[in-house]
Structure 1
Amino acid sequence: MSDVPVTDGEMRGAFDVRTVAILIAVGIVAFLGMVVLGAYAPELRSGRNGGAHALSTAATGFSGIVTLAGATGRNPQVVRNPNALSTENLVVLTPERAATDMTKVLALRRVKPTLVILPKWVTTPDPRHSGWVNYVALLPVREPMGVLAAQYPFKVTRYRSGGRPLVALPWMPPSLRFAAPRPLYTLAGPGVRPLLSDAAGHVVLAQIGQGPLYVLADPDLLSNIGMRDAAQARAALDLLDWLNSTGADGIVFDVTLNGFGRSPSPLKLAFDPPFLAMTLTLAVALLLAGIQATARFGPPRRRPRAIAFGKTALIDNAAALVRKAGRQGGLGERYVQVVRDRAVGVFGVPTRLRDGARDGYLDGLAGRARFSTLAEDARSARHPRDMLAAAQALHHWLWEKTR
């Protein structure tokens, strides 16, 4: 069967080439966009949810101190990967609830400077300003008390401070001059060594245990609420410098405890150096392959018929059927009969002769080969190559006699 020719109108179909190209391009761009967004989704989360963490621009957040630290050359880093918390730099942790699991982080930071800022406020999102919050109430003291309760039990108390100055230890930098927030949260308990207190001796900042673990009972000393005052902001930066380790090259603000953590992604790795070069190379190769696949080189070639015309095609098809059936071994005798019948007609063999007498008559014809010998070779042949050789010999014998 041959291909059926079609008209130009039928070849165009429902869509022309331009429409199909646009659909394919839009699909490819959408797919690539989905892949890239999937790889960078954690980094694209802005953190503007009104929480009390380093990404938040709300009054209770800590983005202000992060911005100030960056503007003054302190190299702040907002960390989303828990593995990055093993640094020697000061790590600032901002858990927002007592239920926050601090076990792994505290174990990782056991001998490294760490500042834990306890939560204080209950807020709701401001519907008029994205990332802002409205004040609802103060957190019950059981929430900040429960943050480290599993390992470091202490008591948190709320006081009316009147905004009076806080007092640092004599050997601490004199620049740590904070005004007490209103109201003021303080802590007390075994293993609490005061570093910053109010005039009545209530501890606001303390060192807990034997390692460099510091706890700030009132977050308003470092939150965006406190950063609106220049003196308070200056004292906050000096406090972070004092708490940091010797030779530190930055300050780390953790947001993994606030739900913004991420694990290393193989998909994101494909878009980061040095693997980005390989990704771009593969993309260009696929693009070139797609362009080549859409282009036609030369006129279209009609497929050949499945079954060709002519005697040659008929013979080829018959031979193929014999090969598939595995019956080549039975062709020798049949070919001998064909050659014998043709020779009888050509050489005028008497009709009275039968079988062996007829073959004897053909053997008596002049020539180098005997017909009976060639016939026996053809009958005994089983391999296709032996069969071909015997058939060629019979054909040559007949050709030699008739030339």
Structure 2
Amino acid sequence: MPRKPKSHTPEKTQGKSWGERLGPASGWLPAVAAFMILCLFAAAGAALFDVNSTPKTGQKANVTGLSAQGTAGLGRLLEARGHEVVVNRLEDGPLIDHAALEIITLDDDGGTLTYAYHFDEEDTSSASDEAISAAGESAVSSSEASASEASESDDDSYGAVQIPDPKRSKHVLSAPLGKVVLIVAPKWNAGRDPRNPYWDRGPSLVAKSNVTESLGFLSPMHEAKAPEDDKDAAAKMAASPPGTKTVRNGDMLVTFDDMAYVVNRDSRSVVTPAEPSGDSNSDAIADELNKLTPTREPMKHLWAFTPAPGDSTFKTPLTVGAITALQSITGPNLRPVLVGPNGEAVLSRVIVTGGRAQPEVPVYLLSDPDLLNNQILSDPQKVLSALTLVDTLSPKAAKPGRVIFNLTFNGLSLDHDLLHVLSRPPFIGVPLCLLIAGLGLMWAAFARFGPAREAPAGAPLGRGVRILADNAARLMAITLKEVKLGPAYADLVRDQVIKDKGYRAGISTESPDALADRIGRTHSTTDTFTDLKARAGKVMTVHQLIDITLKLHAWKTEIQRAHT
């Protein structure tokens, strides 16, 4: 006889509703507690570690940029090669990490400029609010506009001028984060299109004046208290040593070297002249690149950057792919390390002139960022040359070390507020302790209550009746104990009467009870103390206790009134 096929649904669940199959809600409590714990960990992680994460930026010429002008690709290459890559957003302080190599990428002005206010000698009054607001507006304008506004304001009685940031100069020359510092000069404009904020701007070269202004922090800067008299301050500003410039920044006088940097770009381009495509944006880019159409023959695809005469940093030439509009920078404080095919200074070492103290660590300036930015990813030879450049400049080229990309020079620094301080050692222990305490409280609540206890079927008494019975039993137990307080209250009344009469302990040979009886007979009290104390020891109910306490109080009152 064939067997009857079994149902897929268990027999014990057949005929039951969905709610009955789901089970009691008390069984969900462990899952709910586990979900709350995970949410607590997620909230703590977001609050403690997201404050130091790498910012999500668009087209930028720094390690956060994914466009051709950014250097995010270099960071990933170094990580894949075994280097520890750190993105620093905190200003100088004791909690900052240090590394073997610090890379500073400058985008346009690189965040290395600050605004100082200068005044005419005849104008002794401070700058008005309108001048300060005008200076603030110029700070947020484009780099070309801000430079022109700063130059025009030099002829006014007061205004704002751009000067190198003394804090950046001190960081590079005196307190770097690496044993070697590599500064990458700006070359390409990176950011949103000025006509359409939802687009990124096309490839266009930065003005040479902006490049020279952004490198002003490479020389030492001196700050001094400005005299209160504006005429004395103007006299000190005019008496600057040759080759330096002094400006007034608030109540401080800032003196810095007026370096004459020279920026050159190769007029030869390896880009084939583009035909008009009909797209206005593409045609504008093509026109700008076609301006670099070679007047000579284009150079070969591979270039050899040779070590500069007298420098031993690089033992062999560095072979790189061809670079569009190769940029080179020369200056009095720049000593060439690598030179291009035509002798261009591509990599230079920063020195301090005038017989002053040299930088704490070697500081190098890379004139053309195309050697390290994301454009290298299109050419294996450029990738190899970029890694060779980093390994050669690092103090330990044979062993991958830590590399820091400093974003404080790009206007992406963070303040040392309470949240950021609590997210870094050693103060991170405070939020971690609070997190552990929260987990402990959650676990204690779960262990104390747990799943709901099922009520027994057919209980003779309800929960409210049991609670009332328990309370009544507790009150009865307390009531039976109160009757034992009678003798103690009698002794308290006796001691108060003896003290009021001036008797001291140890003077009389009589017992306290006999002394109290004698005092009572002297004042002709209605009851004797011995009789009242004996009755207090025999009370059985609360009402009897109240009666005997009233009689003891009356006995004491009779003695006190007789005394008065």
What's the TM-score, normalizing by structure 1? 0.61
Partner of 1:41: 50
Distance 1:53 1:109 in 2: 18
Contact 2:102/2:178 (<8 A) preserved: no
Alignment match of 2:98 (pick from 66, 83, 86): 86
Measured in 1, the distance between the counterparts of 2:176 and 2:395 equals: 12
1:58-69 equivalent positions in 2, closer than 5 A? 58-69=67-78
Q: Following the alignment from structure 1 to structure 2, what is the Cα–Cα distance between the partners of residues 76 and 394?
A: 87
- Does the 8 Å contact 2:212/2:263 carry over to 1? no
CA shift, 1:72, in A, is: 3.7
Q: What does residue range 3-402 of structure 1 map to in structure 2 within 5 Å? A: 17=25, 29-42=38-51, 44-45=53-54, 47=56, 49-73=58-82, 75-80=83-88, 82=90, 83-87=95-99, 89-96=100-107, 97-100=109-112, 102-103=168-169, 105-106=171-172, 107-109=174-176, 112-124=179-191, 134-152=201-219, 153-162=259-268, 164=299, 165=303, 166-169=305-308, 171=312, 172-179=314-321, 181-209=323-351, 210-211=358-359, 212-246=362-396, 249-257=400-408, 258=410, 259=412, 265-267=421-423, 283=439, 286-295=442-451, 300=463, 302-304=466-468, 329=493, 375-377=527-529, 387=533, 391-392=536-537
Q: Distance in 1 between matches of 2:52 and 2:79?
A: 19
Secondary structure, aligned partner of 2:217: coil
Farther off after superposition, 282-291 or 108-117:
282-291
- In structure 1, give the amino acid aligned to 2:407: T
Give 1:182 deviation, angstroms. 1.8
Helix, strand or coil at the partner of 1:286? helix
Inter-partner Cα distance in structure 2 for 1:249 and 1:390: 96
Q: Distance in 1 between matches of 2:348 and 2:212?
A: 14
How many angstroms apart in 2 are the aligned matches of 1:215 and 1:314?
89
Tell me the SS of whatever aligns to 2:186.
coil
Instruction: Give, in angstroms, the shift of residue 285 of structure 1.
Output: 6.7
Q: Which amino acid in 1 is paired with 2:446?
A: G
Contact 2:44 2:435 in 1 (8 A): no
Q: Is the 8 Å Cα contact of residues 374 and 393 (structure 1) preserved in structure 2?
A: no
Secondary structure class of the residue paired with 2:373? coil
Q: Residue in 1 aligned with 2:554? A: none
Residue 108 of structure 1, CA deviation:
1.6
Range that drifts further, 248-257 or 263-272: 263-272
Q: Secondary structure at the match of 1:252?
A: strand
SS at the partner of 1:53? coil
1:363 maps to: none
Offset at residue 116 of structure 1 (A): 0.5
Contact 2:98 2:178 survives alignment (8 Å):
no
1:224 Cα offset (Å): 0.9
Q: Distance in 2 between matches of 1:76 and 1:111?
A: 13
Structure 1 gaps of 5+ residues are 1-15, 127-131, 331-371, 382-386, 396-403
How far, CA to CA, are the matches of 1:56 and 1:118 in structure 2? Answer: 16
Q: CA deviation at 1:251?
A: 4.5
Any idea what the Cα deviations from partners look like across 1:98-154, whole Å, max 9, x if unmatched?
43352453122299311011222223469xxxxx95425222233332334134245
Structure 1 residue 40, shift from structure 2 partner: 1.8
Q: In the alignment, is the contact (CA less than 8 A) between 2:187 and 2:369 conserved in 1? A: yes
Shift in Å, 1:208:
0.6
Q: Is residue 196–residue 203 contact of structure 1 (8 Å, CA) maintained in 2?
A: yes
Go from structure 1 to structure 2 and tell me whether the alpha carbon gap of 1:53 and 1:392 turns closer, same or farther (over 3 Å shift). Answer: same
Q: CA deviation at 1:45?
A: 4.0
Q: How far does residue 39 in structure 1 lie from its aligned partner after superposition? A: 1.4
The answer to whether the 8 Å contact 2:37/2:439 transfers is: no
Contiguous gaps of at least 5 residues in structure 2: 1-23, 113-166, 194-198, 220-258, 270-298, 352-357, 456-462, 495-523, 541-564
CA contact 1:270–1:276 (8 Å) conserved in 2: no
Bigger shift: 47-56 or 199-208?
47-56
Using the alignment, how far apart are the partners of 1:254 and 1:18 within structure 2? 53
C-alpha distance in 2, partners of 1:318/1:184? 102
* Distance in 1 separating the partners of 2:71 and 2:539: 103
Distance 1:244 1:318 in 2: 87
Once residues 394 and 76 of structure 1 are traced to their aligned partners in structure 2, the CA distance between those partners, rounded to angstroms, is: 87
Residue type of the partner of 2:308? L
Larger radius of gyration: 1
Distance (Å, rounded) in 2 between the aligned partners of 1:228 and 1:208: 30
Moved more, 21-30 or 62-71: 21-30
Q: Deviation per CA, 1:270-298: give whole Å up to 9, x if none.
A: 9999x989966973673253243244569
1:233-262 CA distance string (max 9 Å, x none): 212221212212147641513143242668
Instruction: Work out whether residues 50 and 133 of structure 1, in 8 Å CA contact, stay in contact via their aligned partners in 2.
Output: yes
Give the whole-Å Cα distance in 2 for the aligned partners of 1:40 and 1:148.
33
For 1:20 and 1:374, how far apart are their aligned partners in 2? Answer: 74
8 Å contact kept, 2:27–2:451: no
Kept after mapping to 2: 8 A contact 1:90/1:115 = yes
Going from structure 1 to structure 2, the CA distance change for 1:151 and 1:200 (only over 3 Å counts) comes to same
Deviation (angstroms), 1:19: 11
Query: Are 1:113 and 1:244, in contact at CA under 8 Å, matched by a contact in 2?
Result: yes
Structure 1: how far apart are the matches of 2:77 and 2:317? Answer: 17
Question: In terms of mean alpha carbon deviation, does 61-70 or 77-86 score higher?
Answer: 77-86
State the one-letter code of the partner of 2:185.
Answer: L
CA 270–217 in structure 1, closer or farther in 2 if over 3 Å, else same: closer
Equivalent residues, number:
320
SS at the partner of 1:206? strand
